[in-house]
Chains A and B, each alone.
Chain A
Amino acid sequence: MRNPRIRKFSSIATPIGLAFALLSAPVLSFEQAPILVELVEAGSLPDVDERLPKVPRVITPYNEIGTYGGTWRRAFKGASDDRGPQKLMEPRIVRFVQTGPEQFDIEPAWASSYESNETSTEFTFHIREGLKWSDGHLVTTEDVLFYFEDVLGDDNPWPWPALMTQGDTRAVITAVDDLTFTVSFAEPSPLFIARLGREYVWMASPKHYLSQFHPKYASADELAAAAASFEVGGWEDLWGRRGKAQSFWLNPDVPTLSPWTVTVPPPAEQVIFERNPYYYAVDTDGNQLPYIDQISHDLFQDAETLNLWVAQGRIDLQQRHIGVGNFPFLKENEAAGDYEVVIWNGLEVDTLWPNQTTSDTVMAELFQQADFREALNIAIDRETVNDIVFAGLATPMQAGPPKGSAIYNEALVGKWAEYDVDRANTLLDGLGLKDRGGDGYRQRPDGKTLEIVITTSLFASDINMLELISEFWTDIGVKTSLDVVERTLYLDRVNANEIMMGHWPMGRAAFFLIDAGSYAATLSDQPWGVAWGEHRLGRGKEFATAPPADHMLHDVWEALDGALTASSQDEAMALGADILEMHAQEPNWVGVVGAAPNLFIRSNRMGNFPSGFIRDDITRDIGIIPTEQLYIKN
């Protein structure tokens, strides 16, 4: 397997990051936004040199040095859409960056550098000297220890994330000095840094502010008063992802390390973020970032409203909730709305998931036959689906990481993707599935009509595509019906192993080892072997069973365990490539089309936004570009 871009991950952990930072050491004098100059002159804010760390992070703008000011207008869909706004400004210690076409990398963000030992068991991080929270307090290893011992500790309702544990053993975090700390694992964790770029593990919390809400530091009375002032039932509600004190999306007072901080939090109709005057990055000319003063998120309910806002020029930059099916409409209105549709490459593949362990045992046995899955696959004319449903913009393919992903297997994405009805019919005949009643449908071995029920949830699906597929399968004598259900019902059915065939895109392909559930049968959205996946997860479900002794899943799980504890990233990558090769023999699912373009609406006044990047959850969607260097043209 050729994996061109991956060697980068390990090399970055070496002193290169540090050398890069030292090279740009501040001989420059720093500049700042005009609205901050006013505050400095009024004496309410220290000058920019005192606010920045000794060695700021230097971000190279994509096109040109920007100008300060302005508001970036976008839209959000409600309380559950909090990840959208957050992905523009996650306070990460390391961040994914795109380094070339189909190439990405990881860089230290609020750490100045990091390194790992030979065996990938210990990782050392260096905090930027003079790094400050958004209220001006210094960031030290105290804040790191506070995060791990108290925020994620045993006295708090919030558990440790999977990334920081191996089985029942937690990582050990040690403060070497005020600015240096180590994370040690019992077993090697070669993907730790890459996963840190994606998982929701922030590595530090502002102790000087948040400790007042913690039982270790505050009395019961103080906690009760704090809960009352935030209008929640108890101090526990102040913590966690949507905790009223901890969440940087809900609490304007919590200090953060993000380029912007919330000033008007939800449930407002218009949520506002404003610049963090202590943000630690500068551009190549020494201008403190971000350029943009303010981000406003307008609440919308219906996709058509957002489309109209786009056409009216009310959106400056947004991809979330913009559907590829609206491409013609969005292009038509470019001039009227004074924007441009910028295309990034998506890595999702629309996929059907035959549950090979479904409670209908006859169907389960059929799905386990490679010939049956092949017949279902090659009976679909993927070109037609692409033309009709995706305006010809996507790629007909089998489900697997598309081109541009860190680990790519050409054989997998091409397997059983050619349209061949005759062969499909021959295969089904060969399995003894014949139409004996003359009604156009084949019969199953137990005499019932061969029928597949596809369950899909309103959340993600494209009903047009599924209706086309039903027709293709009806053509080869397989009766197909659709069951469109609410998202929670979909998951309920998966969790009870009652689903026969699911529909959900395969995603997170950029670097699939970070979240390999699609291949290990452990993702509930992608139910191709629910009972087997539950066996692996060991959650005590009654129906959980091990796959047959010679089943490929055993090899996949072994390789996956090996990859997660390999002593180097290269070794992990090689095992990841093996996993794809195993799936490329006889794919367990029915991938249809994928790698569809992702559309960004970029107003003509928005500068420094690149095109042609990869958009994937792993690399944090739009967060792969430093949003700090975007600017509003005057």
Chain B
Amino acid sequence: MTGYIIRRILWFVPTLLAVSLVSFAIIQLPPGDYLTVLEAQMGAEGDYNPEVVARLRERFGFDQPFIVQYGKWMWAMLAHGDLGYSFEWRVPVSSLIGEYLALTVVVTAATLIATWVIALPIGIYSAVRPYSLFDYIATIIGFVGKATPNFLLALILMWWAYDTFGADVSGLFSPEYANAPWSWAKVKDLVSHMWLPLIVLGTSGAASLIRQMRANVLDELQKPYVEAARAQGLPEWRVILRYPVRVALNPFLSTIGGSIPELFSGAVTTAIVLNLPMAGPMLLRALVSQDMYLAGSFIFILSVFTLIGTLISDILLTLVDPRIRFEEA
């Protein structure tokens, strides 16, 4: 087991290098670069001076070949932990993305936990009492939740909250806390703003989770070992939790790794609509303005999270389901 984990971690290095190379190349694929975007802005403002752009092009090293730019970026990251420079915001990437990433992790983790806490019990109950009134209600809510696009749900809820309470529900902080240093009051403000993103981001995830859980448990309930457990005289709740549910959990655990980038990127439209200071909108903005080191760093960090997530789900799988064994290579 330990050897397996170490080997997996060693594989991170080439994987990350490949991912960073590909993502850096993709960022550079559209025509032009950050300075073309800047030229466009300057043109729109009647402030265009080709000499400024030429000097900046040299200054930022855009006149160098792709592989040189990539090499410099990678080297600075590996040697000094320097993620590069955001051309648009004119600050080092590392000082820009810290808080955005932290808030993204908080919101993502909270969403994931909330989804599980809500969806698993409902899914199990629906499976144990299929075609009951509760099952139908949960199914309807689940399908509606799955079918409604997140951004639309966000807009509707925002409007509803405004119309009913006159409350400002966008963002993660009230204006008076936006720049404030971290304090207990700011944390409370954050929590009071979290419910809307949690509902919006969690609904469709919870909906599919309920359906999957229900189907999995239903399958397992038919199997002879459940029968056997019942015959042994175990209490019903223990039979269900101990055996079918444990087996039914497999598919979820194996998707933890995948659900992290999904929450990151799936949350982009929602985060834009809700004006959340999260990584998604900033990544999108960086891509549109071809702010390549900022965009590249986001994608790189996202890849790290995904790899770690996949590793965690693999480890959890072996713990939950002893039938899964690692083959020695």
Chain A residues packing against B (C-beta within 8 Å):
73, 78-80, 83, 157-159, 161-162, 198-200, 231-234, 236-237, 240-242, 244, 250, 264, 266-270, 272, 296, 298-302, 304-305, 308-309, 311-312, 314, 336, 459, 486-492, 508, 515, 523-525, 539, 617
Contact = CB atoms under 8 A, between A and B. Distances in A.
B88 A525 contact: no
Interface string B124-163: 0000000000000000000000000000000100110010
Nearest to B289: A80
A25 to B, nearest CB: 37
Contacts of B44: 459, 525
A491 B179 contact: no
A206 to B, nearest CB: 20
Closest 4 CB pairs of A and B: A159-B51, A270-B178, A79-B88, A488-B32
A534 B52 CA distance: 19
Interface stretch (B14-22, B91-99, B209-217): B91-99
Interface residues on B, range: 35 or more
Given A159-B55, A240-B52, A270-B178, A508 B46 contact: yes
Interface stretch (B110-118, B229-237, B272-280): B272-280
A161 B46 CA distance: 12
B45 A83 contact: yes
Nearest to A306: B275
Given A161-B49, A491-B36, A491-B39, A264 B179 contact: yes
B285 interface: yes
B166 interface: yes
A80 B272 contact: no
Interface in B38-80: 39-41, 43-47, 49-52, 55, 59
Contacts of B43: 491, 523-525
A311 B158 CA distance: 12
B90 A617 contact: no
Nearest to B38: A80
Given A488-B36, A523-B43, A233 B85 contact: yes
A314 B168 contact: yes
Chain A's interface: helix, strand, loop or mixed, by majority? loop
7 contacts: A159-B55, A162-B49, A232-B85, A301-B285, A492-B32, A523-B43, A525-B43
Contacts of A314: 168, 175
Contacts of A487: 37, 40
B179 A312 contact: no
B96 A237 contact: no
Given A79-B89, A267-B91, A617-B46, A157 B55 contact: yes
Contacts of A302: 272-273, 275
A459 B51 CA distance: 25
Contacts of B272: 301-302
Contacts of A515: 46
Given A157-B55, A492-B31, A308 B170 contact: yes
A488 B289 CA distance: 9
Contacts of A524: 43
Contacts of B289: 80
Contact of A250 (B85, B90, B273): B90
A122 B143 CA distance: 76
Contacts of A79: 88-90
A298 B170 CA distance: 12
B310 interface: no
Contacts of A73: 175
Max chain B Cβ within 10 angstroms of own Cβ: one of A299, A304, A309, A617: A304
